[in-house]
Amino acid sequence: MSQPTAPAPEDLATLAVKTLKFLAIDGVEKAFSGHPGLPMGAADMAFVLWSRYLRHDPADPHWADRDRFVLSPGHGSMLLYALLHLSGYDLTLDDLKSFRQWGSRTPGHPEAHLTPGVECTTGPLGQGFANGVGMALAAQMTQANYPGLYHHRIWGIVSDGDMMEGISHEAASLAGHLQLGNLVYLYDDNKITLDGALGDTMSEDVAARFAAYGWHVQRVDGHDHAAIAAAIDGAVAQGVKPSLILCRTHIGNGAPNKHDTHKVHGEPLGPTEMEATRKALGWPTDKTFWVPDAVKALWHTRAEAMASEHAAWRAHELRWMAEHPGLSERYVSTRDRVVPTDLLAQLAAAAPAQTDATRSLAGAIEQRVAELVPSFAGGDADLGGSTKTPIKASGKISATDFSGRNIRFGIREHAMGAIANGMALYGHHIPFTATFLTFSDYMRPAIRLAALTGTRVIHVFTHDSIFLGEDGPTHQAVEHVAALRLIPNVDVWRPADAVECAAAWAGAIQRTDGPSEIVLSRQKVAMPTSPTRPGDAARGGYVRVRESGGAPDVVFLATGSETGLAEEAARVLKAEGLRVRVVSMPCIEVFARQDGDYRASVLPPQGVRVSVEAGRTDGWWRWVGEHGLPIGIDGFGASAPAEVLAEKYGLTAKQVAGRVREFLGR
């Protein structure tokens, strides 16, 4: 790690901070929409951090050894955009002037996939906090495996809202447990929320709380540059604990009438207060989006220094690779997240020949994923024994050993999701998480952000229906598969057998532009009537059992454990002389992306379509049509053994065949 740059002369620092404030004020004012208060209050700490500590190269936002910066309160986005612009990222003044407009790279809240230099998408509070923990964890894991190569840190600004959200507790507790000494958060402690004074809703001692988590905690005046720098130096110097610096700030600092009030939180200052602020801070009233030359020069100097750092590191990387011939290949493979092109074939070859619960089948195949894909790592929320996801050949991550690939997230599903997002955004990792399907509800905000950001994260969800049995309706997923399918840009796999499990893993690993869910049964599934072909399964939907003698009377569409059920019901109906096709649909989204000819070859116009899935039927109408029959479960489950539930909920082969017969009027 480099030494901090010397502080700028006081006058220049003051000018630079004002520039940040007015870029934010002007951006919000021009958009007639936004949050000026946070940028104004946090400009000092952001200036100190970005001008002296943050090690990055604006010319290459993907430099692997860069520091990461997270703005967890994403509503302060104009501060981040101003910093990126001034630092020299590919973000112009015109971009700043297009704040919150259609097609701009400066949306209301920062979006990682849109804007160079934005490390993660933030806005929903608490997510950024946990993303940063994920980045710090990923950095520790990478540094443990490739010692001496990287020297970066994870920095962030966090807010009252982050502190109140439960996810901050989960992430902070785990960060303290794992002693992530490479993580430094500046807490914008401004005592104001959108609706009023923080004291109206919160009176906890945040410093004591974080000390209880095992964090290094300091308090400073958030407008005193020397104090902020000293605290950052202190955080870095101790180096073994994650660090929280409580920066007492004044929201809207500089606005003579609105500062320290919630009026400056979520709306433009307005012309009158903007004028008053310009006067109070001695800023030209006839210029907007103005950057004084001295401030430009300051950031330019910083960018040049950073370019040198980057160049030096490039040389260091080459040297390191030469000195570590044994590690280099694996290093490049993880850095570039290399995946074998024949992954599907290799995983299909590893598919168990005997059937079992899909959680067990997928767990066995996952071991092969871990062998073939070195950047694959992850863990579970205290259910590894049940989800079958721990990587057997690898060790557990702990505060004293980050070299393994198994992360024990604890009973912290929401943070698990957001930490996995942070790991994926950090790079070097294709992360996975695992828990019961019903707890996907706890993770939903994180899954949504992975989808929005196009982040490759894999969520394994087991115990995927009422057929988990005795644990009862609190633990029985009914609506969750359908609800996951509703989030845009999510692939939801619910495999029916070992080969489909292989296809799910291959699809999830090879997909680079969004998250995949792998949904698995607790109970054993049936063996397919004839062997599943990997290429079929990989198309998301295929003919599993073909009718004989003319167009089908009935076309079953099924997923997961109900595919075997549909096959069995088909046998009953075939014996009665019906022509029955069974279509397996392990991933509706992938199937929907196939060309029309293929889709029509799987789902012909003839025949009554019957979907069978042990969950909500709502989404199936699209596929069965208004004259079709969706069979599923539209209410809650119950506590009883699985075989009893099958009977009670009409999901035995005999009952399904009976319903189809009745529906056909036979």
Positions 486 through 545 that interact with a copy of itself (CB under 8 A): 486-489
DSSP 8-state class, residue 277: H
Q: Which is nearer to a copy of itself, 211 or 543 (CB)?
A: 211
Q: Which is nearer to a copy of itself, 176 or 528 (CB)?
A: 176
647 carries an active-site annotation: no
Tokens of 584: 């397996």
Binding mask 343-372 for a copy of itself (x = CB under 8 A): ------------------------------
Bin 580: left if φ > 0, else alpha if -120 < ψ < 50, else beta: beta
The window from 244-252, 470-478, 574-582, 654-662 that contacts a copy of itself (CB under 8 A) reads: 470-478
Specify the DSSP element, H or E, that contains 230.
helix 225-238
SS3 for 175-201 is HHHCCCCCEEEEEEECCEECCEEHHHC
Tokens of 330: 């694996």
Q: How far apart are CA 456 and CA 206, in angstroms?
A: 33
Q: Which residues have C-beta within 8 Å of that of residue 93, sequence separation ≥ 6?
A: 85, 289, 291
Q: Which is nearer to a copy of itself, 227 or 603 (CB)?
A: 603
Out of 206, 423, 450, 573, the residue judged to bind a copy of itself by CB under 8 A = 206
Q: How far apart are CA 442 and CA 415, in angstroms?
A: 9
Q: Which is nearer to a copy of itself, 352 or 625 (CB)?
A: 625
Q: How far apart are CA 643 and CA 12, in angstroms?
A: 75
Q: How far apart are CA 288 and CA 290, in angstroms?
A: 5
Instruction: Answer yes or no whether residue 116 interacts with a copy of itself by CB under 8 A.
Output: no
Residue with tokens 């992430």: 171
How many residues line the site for a copy of itself (CB under 8 A)?
111
Q: Which is nearer to a copy of itself, 50 or 402 (CB)?
A: 402
The helix, strand and coil proportions of the chain, stated in percent and rounded to the nearest 5, come to 45, 15, 40
Question: Site residues for a copy of itself, window 128-167 (CB under 8 A)?
Answer: 160-161, 164-167
Question: Site residues for a copy of itself, window 92-111 (CB under 8 A)?
Answer: 100-104, 107-109, 111
Residue 68 phi/psi, 5-degree rounding, is -110, 145
Out of 69, 89, 187, 213, the residue judged to bind a copy of itself by CB under 8 A = 213
Q: Which is nearer to a copy of itself, 334 or 438 (CB)?
A: 438
Q: How far apart are CA 581 and CA 635, in angstroms?
A: 28
Q: Which is nearer to a copy of itself, 28 or 232 (CB)?
A: 28
Binding mask 240-279 for a copy of itself (x = CB under 8 A): ----------------------------------------
DSSP 8-state class, residue 5: P
Question: Site residues for a copy of itself, window 623-642 (CB under 8 A)?
Answer: 625-628, 634-636, 638-641
Instruction: Answer yes or no whether residue 430 interacts with a copy of itself by CB under 8 A.
Output: no
The window from 204-212, 218-226, 541-549, 573-581 that contacts a copy of itself (CB under 8 A) reads: 204-212
Q: How far apart are CA 665 and CA 608, in angstroms?
A: 12
| In contact, 46 and 158? CB cutoff 8 Å | no
Question: Site residues for a copy of itself, window 376-405 (CB under 8 A)?
Answer: 380, 382-386, 396, 398
Out of 1, 14, 93, 177, the residue judged to bind a copy of itself by CB under 8 A = 177
| In contact, 462 and 390? CB cutoff 8 Å | no
Q: Which residues have C-beta within 8 Å of that of residue 627, sequence separation ≥ 6?
A: 608
Q: Which residues have C-beta within 8 Å of that of residue 34, sequence separation ≥ 6?
A: 27, 28, 75, 77, 78, 99, 100, 108, 267, 268
Out of 22, 409, 432, 493, the residue judged to bind a copy of itself by CB under 8 A = 409
Q: How far apart are CA 97 and CA 125, in angstroms?
A: 25
Question: Site residues for a copy of itself, window 644-663 (CB under 8 A)?
Answer: 644-645, 648
Q: Which is nearer to a copy of itself, 175 or 525 (CB)?
A: 175
Least CB distance from residue 480 to a copy of itself, whole Å? 8
Tokens of 572: 């009953």
Out of 7, 234, 292, 472, the residue judged to bind a copy of itself by CB under 8 A = 472
Instruction: Answer yes or no whether residue 200 interacts with a copy of itself by CB under 8 A.
Output: yes
Instruction: Answer yes or no whether residue 124 interacts with a copy of itself by CB under 8 A.
Output: yes
Question: Site residues for a copy of itself, window 20-59 (CB under 8 A)?
Answer: 31, 33-34
Q: Of 125, 241, 100, 118, whose CA–CA distance to 184 is shortest? A: 241
Q: How far apart are CA 647 and CA 626, in angstroms?
A: 27
Q: Which is nearer to a copy of itself, 141 or 306 (CB)?
A: 141
The window from 147-155, 251-259, 485-493, 536-544 that contacts a copy of itself (CB under 8 A) reads: 485-493
Least CB distance from residue 128 to a copy of itself, whole Å? 11
Instruction: Answer yes or no whether residue 123 interacts with a copy of itself by CB under 8 A.
Output: yes
Instruction: Answer yes or no whether residue 209 interacts with a copy of itself by CB under 8 A.
Output: yes
Tokens of 477: 């997923």
Per the residue annotation, which of 29, 273, 317, 413 is the catalytic one? 413
Least CB distance from residue 274 to a copy of itself, whole Å? 18
Q: Which is nearer to a copy of itself, 160 or 317 (CB)?
A: 160
Residue with tokens 């062997």: 531
Instruction: Answer yes or no whether residue 606 interacts with a copy of itself by CB under 8 A.
Output: no
| In contact, 283 and 22? CB cutoff 8 Å | yes
Catalytic residues: 413
